[in-house]
Structure 1
Amino acid sequence: MDELKSMAVSQNTTLVAFAFLYADCQNTEYRKEIISLEEICKPVQDINCNGDWVDPGRDGDLETDGHLSMPIPPIDIEPIVNVQWPGNHDVAGNIQQVAGELRQIAELIEHRIVAQATRNLKKNISSSPSEDWKSLLSAEVERVMRQGVGLEYLPQERVLIALTLTLVKGVCEQAPRFLRNLFSAAVQFINPVSTW
């Protein structure tokens, strides 16, 4: 049972990270790279093991209880095109809500701190002969968290995740070719922290 819970948390982490990174992407190359990540975010089965995922290419079938078979994302959060959300409306809504909350926290983190941390991370990744980007990412996040971001009144788990995803987005908007590996490193880093 713990393995199923771990798989569910891992999948939710991936979907939340994807939703966070996808929102408001202006850079054309970055947008292409983020859309290419769609395959990573496509699960094979519902995290609750209740059945198959809904095919977003369909218009949605009307079920016998009168509900559409596709989840409808909340209006106030930009929907993600072509992402297969879990068939469970509550899970899909929760994933988008968490991503939205993380974006709000990211907006509160001082721009100067994020800009410097983004430059540091990009420089370290660019000059790193190895591909241990998870270590580079976690070191930079931990450095910024020790320095303080001025959001002590918020749950620190969420601040850490928002900062991590903000750094990933900042680096990848400047160097979109890093997205796939840095996305993977970020999901590995925040997965043990997250408790969706």
Structure 2
Amino acid sequence: MDDSWKSAIGQNAPLVILSFLQTDSKIVNYNEELSSLSTLINRDINCNGLMMDTDDEGGLETDGHLSSCIAMSMGDIQPSVQLQGPDEAAIQRVAEELRYIAAQLEHNVVAQATQNLSNNVLSSTTQYWKKHLSQEVDKALRQGVCLRDLPQEQIIVALSLTLVKGVCQQAPHLLRNLFDIALDYIRRDF
């Protein structure tokens, strides 16, 4: 695998996934969930990567500093992740490559795998979702996804994100949990 590709996705996996998922969807609930997730990711980025409690109202701490990031108040202004810095081009390139790979995947294989993943996710607890995602990716790869000229890792990431996107478009309320599952699943190799 190309080291720059691996580095871009490894260090910036949440941004790559979010960039992949952000498309011209006409599904209102999906777009709303995606916007909400983008806002949370923006908060994490703008607050130097610190995870924030979304229920925190902010306030003055005993040392005089605000307990929440100023970016949290800008959530409505920033509906999508604003990529900045030297990694922006790499993140966009990786997301575009993943979209290209996903477009090449055989429609019937992806549609069936998406339906299977959706059924499995809806009928099980969150702790099994990563297992279900892994099983569907493996099954889809065995069923004849033929992209032999591309590195297997790229195909797996593209297929994983395609399945997650398909399920989330059917059931937008699953976006945050499946985003976290996909992030964990992808990071296992990077």
Q: TM-score, normalised by structure 1?
A: 0.72
Q: Corresponding residue for 1:45?
A: 48
Q: Give the letter for the 2:175 counterpart.
A: L
Which SS does the other structure have where 1:152 is aligned?
coil
Among candidates 91, 99, 106, match of residue 103 of structure 1? 99
- In the TM superposition, residue 81 of structure 1 has moved relative to its aligned partner by 4.6
For 1:130 and 1:163, the matched residues in 2 are separated by: 20
Distance 1:36 1:118, change over 3 A: same
- Alignment deviations for residues 28-57 of structure 1 (CA, whole Å, 9 cap, x no partner): 1100011111244232328xxxxxxxx7x7
Q: Cα offset for 1:147? A: 2.5
In 2, Cα distance between equivalents of 1:172 and 1:11: 24
Q: How many pairs were matched up? A: 155
Match of 1:14 in 2: 14
Question: How far has the Cα of 1:24 moved from its partner?
Answer: 2.2
Counterpart of 2:48 in structure 1: which amino acid? Q
* Runs of 5+ unmatched residues, structure 2: 1-7, 50-70
Q: CA deviation at 1:26?
A: 2.0
Partner amino acid, structure 1, of 2:80: N
Aligned partners of 1:14 and 1:158: how far apart in 2?
16
What letter corresponds to residue 108 of structure 2 in structure 1?
R
Q: 5 Å matches for 1:76-155? A: 81-86=79-84, 88=85, 90-155=86-151
- CA offsets per residue over residues 94-114 of structure 1, 9 Å max, x none? 101100110010000000000
Greater share of helix residues, 1 or 2?
Answer: 2
| Residue matched to 1:64 | none
Alignment identity in percent? 45
Structure 1 spans left out of the alignment, 5+ residues: 1-7, 47-54, 58-79
